[in-house]
Amino acid sequence: MGRIAPPHTYKQVIQAEIANEILNTARSIIYSRIYQIEQSDPAEVNRLQQKAHEIHVLQRSFGVTDDAVIADIIATWGERIRDRERFLREF
């Protein structure tokens, strides 16, 4: 029986998990905001749902061996989610 995934290291697995958790956090911030405004601002809800979908697509677009993509996600998105209010304003 062959390997299902390409050869990878433990460090790559950890980095990929960190990237996924960062993106999950970004999505949770967005869904929290959607819950707050779902009755008062349907247009903004639709926009935020689209953004959450884009993040989901990003999550599914990389594999454990995509080191450059993972490093970029950690650097870019990790910084974005540090401040929830700023994230929502800029997003």
Helices (H), 38-83: 42-60, 67-80
**Amino acid at site 13:** V
- In this prediction, residue 3 carries a pLDDT of 64
Residues 33-50 have a mean pLDDT of: 97
- In this prediction, residue 77 carries a pLDDT of 97
**Amino acid at site 54:** E
The per-residue pLDDT for range 1-37, each reduced to its tens digit, is 566 767 889 999 999 999 999 999 999 999 999 999 9
- CB burial of 19-58 (b: ≥16 within 10 Å; e: otherwise) equals beebbebbbebbeebbeeeeeeeeeebeebeebbeebeeb
The per-residue pLDDT for range 52-80, each reduced to its tens digit, is 999 999 999 999 999 999 999 999 999 99
Confidence (pTM): 0.89
* Domain range summary for the chain, segments of one domain joined by +: 10-90
The CA-based dihedral angle spanning residues 35, 23, 84, 32, taken in that order and rounded to the nearest 10 degrees: 10
